[in-house]
Amino acid sequence: MKKKNHPLLGIHSFLMMAFIYVPIIMIIIYSFNDTRLSGNWEGFTLDWYASLFENRHVMEALMNSLTVAVISTIVSTLLGTAAALSLRNLGRKGRTGMNGLLYLPVIIPDIIMGLSLLVLFSQLNIPLGKTTVIIAHITFSLSYVYVVVTARLSGMGKQLGEAAQDLGATPWQTFRYVTLPQIAPGIISGALIAFTLSLDDFMVSFFVAGPSSTTLPIYIYAQVKRGISPEINALCTLLILVSITLILLAQYILNRGNGQKKHKTLPI
């Protein structure tokens, strides 16, 4: 658009950004505030961070979250990538159907996904625990991996692969030396997204986690319901930093892999 934006629009946009970011920045500031209760600033401290690392419940939840995130990321990356690769060779009809199925976990409200998995596990007499959380996380993560890898695949033609096969490469060699290096940025950023989603998920985990498999978001929820505490500010600050770092990294890898063609936003 050549016409310049109206100044009022600029002010509105600035206020909106402030509206979005001030609350988040408040958490970060208050995580360094040397008071347990008051809303006033009482001086700088790192005590709340220190006490986090001494808190057995926090450390346990952290370990649970990391275990779940690592395993679900590996499995969902494998499944999502396999789906993206095989769908490319599918006929038009099969592809549309499978595409719909793979998008389903993105569209279905988390609450429905959570409760239906709870029902399934209870009908199959599977006790709720880390395994059930991992299964749930794989189910929603694999779609995101699929979306990212597919976007990457659609950006590259089939010519290189065909050329390799014409030159006598076996299907495995073609995959290993031609396709894989090309889609690697997609796979890596898909994995990073899966990891972040798993680390951040509350809704689905809430339904399928057992007493022994409390993850960080579930721990935060329980604490927040009891009221505010400076330790939670510190924990939230750390989680914010980790999520944003991972996502920016994913975006960076995807952009660099794409050369000049820039992905403006991550698929969501």
Partner 1 sequence: MRKSRFLLTPVLLWLCLFLIVPMLIVVGISFLSRDALGNIVFSFSLEGYKTFFDPLYLGIYWDTLVLSLLTTVICLLVSYPLAYYIAGASPRIQTWGLILITVPFWINFLIRTYAWVLLLRTQGVVNSLLLWMGWIDEPIQMLYTYGAVLLGMVYNFIPFMVLPIYVALEQMDKRLLDAASDLGASRWKAFRHITLPQSKSGIMTGAVLVYVSTSGMFVVTDILGGAKSSMISNIIQQQFLGARNWPFGAALSVIFVATSLVLILLFNRAMQARHQRVGEGR
Q: 54 to 73, contacts with partner 1 by CB under 8 A?
A: none
Q: Give 15: exposed, middle or buried? Use CB within 10 Å, 0-12, 13-18, 19+.
A: exposed
Minimum CB separation of residue 156 from partner 1 in Å reads: 17
145 in Cβ contact with 191 (< 8 Å):
yes
Minimum CB separation of residue 96 from partner 1 in Å reads: 14
Told to check if 217 binds partner 1 by CB under 8 A, we report yes
Told to check if 123 binds partner 1 by CB under 8 A, we report yes
Q: What is the DSSP letter of 177?
A: I
- For residue 88, what are its two tokens? 């490319």
Told to check if 254 binds partner 1 by CB under 8 A, we report no
Only one of the segments 47-55, 155-163, 182-190, 194-202 lies at the binding site for partner 1 (rule: CB under 8 A); that segment is 194-202
Nearest residue (CB) to partner 1, 60 versus 110: 110
Told to check if 125 binds partner 1 by CB under 8 A, we report no
Give the span between the Cα atoms of 123 and 127, in whole angstroms.
10
Sequence-distant (6+) residues with CB within 8 A of 227 are none
Query: Binder to partner 1 among 225, 259, 260, 261 (CB under 8 A)?
Result: 225
Minimum CB separation of residue 122 from partner 1 in Å reads: 9
Told to check if 159 binds partner 1 by CB under 8 A, we report no
Minimum CB separation of residue 248 from partner 1 in Å reads: 8
Told to check if 249 binds partner 1 by CB under 8 A, we report no
140 in Cβ contact with 204 (< 8 Å):
yes
Told to check if 106 binds partner 1 by CB under 8 A, we report no
Told to check if 93 binds partner 1 by CB under 8 A, we report no
Give the span between the Cα atoms of 174 and 162, in whole angstroms.
9
Told to check if 221 binds partner 1 by CB under 8 A, we report yes
148 in Cβ contact with 194 (< 8 Å):
no
Told to check if 188 binds partner 1 by CB under 8 A, we report no
204 in Cβ contact with 113 (< 8 Å):
yes
Nearest residue (CB) to partner 1, 200 versus 213: 200
Told to check if 161 binds partner 1 by CB under 8 A, we report no
Q: Dihedral of CA 111/115/121/124: which sign?
A: negative
Told to check if 174 binds partner 1 by CB under 8 A, we report no
Give the span between the Cα atoms of 195 and 205, in whole angstroms.
14
Only one of the segments 50-58, 82-90, 153-161, 182-190 lies at the binding site for partner 1 (rule: CB under 8 A); that segment is 82-90
Told to check if 147 binds partner 1 by CB under 8 A, we report no
Residue matched to tokens 């690697």:
184
Q: Would you list the DSSP string of 61-119?
A: HHHHHHHHHHHHHHHHHHHHHHHHHHHHTS-HHHHHHHHHHHHHHHHS-HHHHHHHHHH
Residues 12-51 that bind partner 1 (CB under 8 A): 12-13, 16-17, 19-21, 23-24, 26-27, 30, 37-40
Instruction: Tell me the per-residue interface mask from 229 to 248 with partner 1, x by CB under 8 A, - otherwise.
Output: ---xx--x--xx--xx-xx-
